[in-house]
Structure 1
């Protein structure tokens, strides 16, 4: 999961499916509270190499601005059938095994957009907001602001 300061700050959830990164932009980030539904806008597929990208984009096909790897790990598809079929059918349930995020999460299509919701399990915790308490990259240790300041404007890394 990357934090991307493009036109608007958002979290990009990226799951490897059939050799590409299926991607959702989540403006408010993930919530550990199962009653909170987060807008998740399905975006273009990304190349696998992009999963570990950190830097500052200038006029990139993936959007300009600073990017950090906010969380990293693997996932397990909990939906019957393949993850690709689940996405096509509009409902994907996964278990995340990340540095910051763990437990089950559900993506559900609602018209053109999707919702990301934490499933009620032992990892649910309505009292915690990791987007506030854990702002740093799991790779570089930088915040999104520090990443943006690390490169002169207009230079892509």
Structure 2
């Protein structure tokens, strides 16, 4: 019996602080940088910039990427879990995650430590950027900002500032 694909949200303090939302697709982590992080409010559209694929092993990475190379800085695992693809075509037939991403709309249900419920990535057409939006469901909560309420790692319990201080 196949296991559910994983997702991870890593808080990354590189050139600027952002959340890397990564979803397992065809053996790699498809990734988007979301500067303001995921919102539980379905009326809020968050910019999501596609980044390079990462290996599945990277899902558990926390630490400080040293030096002044692209991507250097502190990283924590802000949330993780499994997801279910919910993307359907116009006739209601399932669309694979890879085909959904290629087509510019990917809907999925997260089951994580912090995040749950349905979400969607939609390509905007402007410069290849995407939007991340929370779908209206029982897990939507416009009054809760999880990025502020729960800033710590689900693995180490450290905040991004505490992780950055470990390099000293």
Matched residue count: 152
Instruction: State the Cα distance separating 1:62 from its structure 2 match.
Output: 6.1
Q: Which runs of 4+ in 1 moved over 3 A?
A: 59-62
- Does residue 88 in structure 1 map to residue 96 in structure 2? no
Q: Which residue of 2 aligns with 1:151?
A: 167
TM-score normalised by the chain length of structure 1: 0.94
Q: Give runs of aligned pairs for residues 58-97 of structure 1, distance below 5 A.
A: 58-59=66-67, 63-79=71-87, 80-97=94-111
RMSD: 1.1
Q: Which residue of 1 aligns with 2:130?
A: 114
How has the CA–CA distance of structure 1 residues 139 and 60 changed in structure 2, closer, same or farther, with 3 Å as cutoff?
farther
Unaligned runs of 5+ in 1: 153-157
How has the CA–CA distance of structure 1 residues 63 and 27 changed in structure 2, closer, same or farther, with 3 Å as cutoff?
same
CA distance in 2, matches of 1:58, 1:109: 32
CA distance in 1, matches of 2:39, 2:149: 12
- Does residue 44 in structure 1 map to residue 52 in structure 2? yes
TM-score normalised by the chain length of structure 2: 0.88
Unaligned runs of 5+ in 2: 1-8, 88-93
How has the CA–CA distance of structure 1 residues 77 and 57 changed in structure 2, closer, same or farther, with 3 Å as cutoff?
same
CA distance in 2, matches of 1:72, 1:128: 19
Instruction: State the Cα distance separating 1:59 from its structure 2 match.
Output: 4.0
CA distance in 1, matches of 2:58, 2:69: 12
SS in 2 for 1:70: strand
- Does residue 99 in structure 1 map to residue 113 in structure 2? yes
